[in-house]
Amino acid sequence: MAESVETQAAHHEDAHGHHGEMSFVSKYVFSTDHKVIAMQYLFTGMAMALIGGFMAYAFRMQLAFPGEAVPGYGIVSAANYNALVTNHGTIMIFWVAMPVLIAAFGNFLIPLMCGCDDMVFPKINRLSYQIFLLSAVVLISSFFVEGGGFGGAWTAYPPLSAKAEYSLTKLGSSIWLVAVALEFIAFLLGGINFVTTAMNSRAPGMKLYDIPIVVWMIVVASILFMVSVGPLIAGAFMLLFDQTLGTQFYDPDGAGDPLLWQHLFWFFGHPEVYVVLLPALGIVAEVITTFSRKKLFAYRTVLYTTFGTGVLSFTVWAHHQFVAGIDPRMANIFTLTTLLISVPIAELCFVYIATLFGGSIRLTTPMLWALAFIAEFLIGGVTGIFLGASGSDIYLHDTYFVLAHFHYTFYPIAIIGTFAGITYWYPKMFGRMLNETLGKIHFWGSVISFNVIFIPLFVLGIAGQHRRIFDYRNFPELALPQYQDLRILATFALLVMLAFQVVFLYNFFMSLFKGEKAGNNPWKANTLEWTVPSPPPHGNFAEMPTVYRGPYEYSTPGRDEDYWPQNVPN
């Protein structure tokens, strides 16, 4: 090191004073501060969630009342329907789950929890957000071009996605692809920052086993993303050339093979599930330990199962393609690996449940969300077994059973996990407490209506209803009135769920101004972010902290207080 840490810190203080005079634009729009970037990601993600939610509203209304004009949207044509489901999926995964769970929480938490003043490369971090924002704008612009938005499902299987004469959305499909590619680049840049910061810049004394689980999980998720997305980036170039230049990478008439894209896509697509799952699991670990005042059960087991899951997640991708025309012998291998991956995930759930044993549980709003995550994710996990087993997947593939299954995993991840995180760290982010009553109303409304949406869809899936159909009246066996009633029930529950989000938005924005002042450590938690003022100042720590112990020393015997912050010497 050319300069000692002390002189750096002195420089830093100068800079801090200087930053106080920054204009609004340089402070909130072009800031390199990790907390501001985290907020930018969070708000962009929330805005995109509203768009994605509106799309769900439009196509669910069409399914419940086919052919009738949807209030606020109009008639949903077949082309509209395809574009809506495609972009709903794309937005919810790439522009909501990823930016909120990895980028927003990663940006906010990693420097604070590791005891740094910022990310290691603040400017690259800002660039990452700017590219991400650009990608969101590009995606939204694809809805308004001639021919409309891309409608070939979020998996974008060629030849449908590759040729305009098949998809009828020449511009829409290319713009969609460019937007996704830009988003990948944004997250590659972000991921390098997260991984490097957590590896290299931890506070003195913070050993590998002293890192909070949520940081571990975000780092492992970033690594999974960086290692799995490469082939798809190459594949996206190939698909873009197929679309725009007329190459034949995926065209069987010209020595290509449409299945190559499916492999490239799912080699990324399956680890991607774990990319968003792991940060949510990390958030849940922080919340349940804090509110049950318990040490995390078997910290090292959690870590090892996380690594195991990460590695295994690269070996299971073709279970999405059992009936896609792959060689049937390969399906046996992928069934084996898929069933194997259920073991570490089950173990993680068991560990979290075991953490509650002997605890002193406080059912605050964040705790309710975290517990709901475990309860609902279990359902999502076990229904995956039906689909990972090749024999039953023959029937269930591409039915509403699949749809209900992955919403039972993605809803807990992207919605329940996110709300657990937002309600838990809101005091730290904004310096004020959320309203608990409103929080609980929002919680119960959202979780109950979520189950009422998707349990009927499991039933429809078992009854043989397949996906991405805009009007089931063309299929006599699916047009039966008892099934239509289930569709109407699911749509009704969706409306209820969307209505309850108003409660959250009201609570969120009112509490910014009227919430009770939070203080440094309202939850009496151990990790380093709770040792600084709420919201943390630029540079985070007035004095760079030293770490003396792991993050989950709650209710340690022989101490009066039931928590023991990481930075307190004894």
Partner 1 sequence: MRPIANTRSVTGIPTGRLAVWWIIVSEIVIFGGLLGSYVMYRLAHDSWANQAAHTNTMAGAFNTLVLLTSSLSAVLAHKAASEGDGKKAAKLLGATICGGAVFLTVKAFEWTHEISIGYTITSNTFWSFYYTAAGLHGLHVIAGMIIMGIVAKDAAKGRELHRVELIGLYWHFVDLVWIFLFPLLYIAK
Partner 2 sequence: MIEHFLPAASSYAQDIDNLFTLIFTLVGFWLVLTEAVFIYLIVKFRKKDGQKAEYYTGEEKHLKRWITVPHFLVLICDIFILVGAVNVWYNVKQQLPEADEIVRVIGQQWAWTFVHAGPDGTIDTDDDIAIVDELHVKVGTTYHFKLEARDVLHSFSVPVFRLKQDAVPGRVITGWFKPTKVGEHDVQCAEICGIGHGLMAARIFIETPEEHAAWLAGQRPIALASANTPQRVED
Partner 3 sequence: MSESEHHHPNYVKIWAILVVLLVVSVLGPELGIRSVTLFTAFGIAIIKAYMVAKNFMHVSVEPRFVTYLLMTAVLFVVLFFAGTAPDVMNAEGTNWEKSSWLAAEASAPAEAENHH
Structure tokens at 441: 């109303």
Sign of the torsion formed by the C-alpha atoms of 110, 115, 116 and 120: negative
Q: Which of 415, 295, 283 is nearest to 351 (CA)?
A: 295
Q: Does 171 bind partner 2 (CB under 8 A)?
A: no
Residue 307-326 contact track with partner 2, rule CB under 8 A, x = bound: ----------------xxx-
Count of residues that bind partner 1 according to CB under 8 A:
54
Count of residues that bind partner 3 according to CB under 8 A:
25
Q: Does 398 bind partner 2 (CB under 8 A)?
A: yes
Q: Which of 36, 162, 232, 525 binds partner 1 (CB under 8 A)?
A: 232
In the complex, least distance from residue 276 CB atom to partner 1, rounded to whole angstroms: 18
Q: Which of 78, 199, 208, 448 binds partner 2 (CB under 8 A)?
A: 78
Q: Does 466 bind partner 2 (CB under 8 A)?
A: yes
Residues 421-452 as b or e (16 or more Cβ within 10 Å = b): bbbbbbbbbbbbbbbeebbebbbebbbebbbe
The Cα–Cα gap between 302 and 555 comes to: 20
Helices (H), 142-201: 164-167, 170-200
What Å distances lie between residue 154 and 91, 207, 542, CA to CA? 9, 41, 46
Q: Does 391 bind partner 3 (CB under 8 A)?
A: no
Helices (H), 389-417: 390-396, 400-410
Q: Does 533 bind partner 3 (CB under 8 A)?
A: no
The Cα–Cα gap between 44 and 50 comes to: 10
**In the window 258-297, what residues touch partner 1 (CB under 8 A)?**
260, 264, 267
Query: φ and ψ at 70, to 5 degrees?
Result: -90, 125
The Cα–Cα gap between 317 and 265 comes to: 9
Q: Does 195 bind partner 1 (CB under 8 A)?
A: yes
Q: Which of 9, 134, 326, 389 binds partner 3 (CB under 8 A)?
A: 326
**In the window 257-316, what residues touch partner 3 (CB under 8 A)?**
257, 259-260, 263-264, 267, 314-315
**In the window 458-517, what residues touch partner 3 (CB under 8 A)?**
none
The Cα–Cα gap between 370 and 417 comes to: 7
In this complex, which beta carbon is closest to partner 2, that of residue 185 or of residue 326?
326
Residue 310-349 contact track with partner 1, rule CB under 8 A, x = bound: ----------------------------------------
Largest separation between any pair of C-alpha atoms in the chain: 77
Q: Which of the choices partner 1, partner 3, partner 2, none does residue 117 contact, using the CB cut-off of 5 to 8 A by kind? A: partner 1
The Cα–Cα gap between 480 and 486 comes to: 10
In this complex, which beta carbon is closest to partner 3, that of residue 263 or of residue 405?
263
Q: Which of the choices partner 2, partner 1, partner 3, none does residue 315 contact, using the CB cut-off of 5 to 8 A by kind? A: partner 3
Query: How distant is the alpha carbon of residue 309 from its chain centre?
Result: 17
Q: Which of 231, 355, 272 is nearest to 101 (CA)?
A: 272
Count of residues that bind partner 2 according to CB under 8 A:
96
DSSP assigned state of 435: P
Q: Which of 49, 61, 277, 371 binds partner 2 (CB under 8 A)?
A: 371
Q: Which residue type is seen at 306?
A: T
Q: Does 256 bind partner 1 (CB under 8 A)?
A: yes
Q: Which residue type is seen at 320?
A: H
In the complex, least distance from residue 318 CB atom to partner 3, rounded to whole angstroms: 6
Q: Does 464 bind partner 2 (CB under 8 A)?
A: yes
Q: Which of 361, 510, 374 is nearest to 447 (CA)?
A: 374
Q: Which of the choices partner 2, partner 1, partner 3, none does residue 359 contact, using the CB cut-off of 5 to 8 A by kind? A: partner 2
Q: Which of 335, 511, 531, 534 binds partner 2 (CB under 8 A)?
A: 335
In this complex, which beta carbon is closest to partner 3, that of residue 2 or of residue 245?
2
Angle value at C-alpha 552, between 546 and 556, nearest 5 degrees: 100
In this complex, which beta carbon is closest to partner 1, that of residue 203 or of residue 415?
203
In this complex, which beta carbon is closest to partner 1, that of residue 241 or of residue 475?
241
Q: Which of the choices partner 1, partner 2, partner 3, none does residue 441 contact, using the CB cut-off of 5 to 8 A by kind? A: none
Q: Which of the choices partner 2, partner 3, partner 1, none does residue 342 contact, using the CB cut-off of 5 to 8 A by kind? A: partner 2
Q: Does 336 bind partner 2 (CB under 8 A)?
A: yes
- The total number of residues shown for the chain amounts to 570
Q: Which of 5, 137, 208, 330 binds partner 3 (CB under 8 A)?
A: 330
Binding range to partner 3, per CB under 8 A, among 326-334, 362-370, 374-382, 446-454: 326-334
3 state DSSP class of 320: helix
In the complex, least distance from residue 218 CB atom to partner 1, rounded to whole angstroms: 15
Q: In sequence order, what are the residues at sequence separation of 6 or more whose Cβ sits closer than 8 angstroms to the Cβ of residue 43?
A: none
Q: Which of 17, 67, 252, 519 binds partner 2 (CB under 8 A)?
A: 252
Structure tokens at 527: 């990790």
Q: Does 489 bind partner 2 (CB under 8 A)?
A: no
Q: Which helix (H) or strand (E) holds 343?
A: helix 328-356
Q: Does 247 bind partner 2 (CB under 8 A)?
A: no
Q: In sequence order, what are the residues at sequence separation of 6 or more whose Cβ sits closer than 8 angstroms to the Cβ of residue 233?
A: 181, 184
Q: Which of 129, 216, 317, 523 binds partner 3 (CB under 8 A)?
A: 317
3 state DSSP class of 91: helix
The Cα–Cα gap between 406 and 409 comes to: 5
In the complex, least distance from residue 162 CB atom to partner 1, rounded to whole angstroms: 13
Structure tokens at 351: 């560990």
CB count within 10 Å of CB 186 equals 25
Contacting residues toward partner 1, per CB under 8 A = 1, 3, 5, 8-9, 11-12, 15, 111, 114, 116-122, 188, 191-193, 195-197, 199-202, 226-235, 237-238, 241, 245-249, 254-257, 260, 264, 267, 544
Binding site for partner 3 (CB under 8 A): 2, 227-228, 230-231, 252-253, 255, 257, 259-260, 263-264, 267, 314-315, 317-318, 325-330, 334
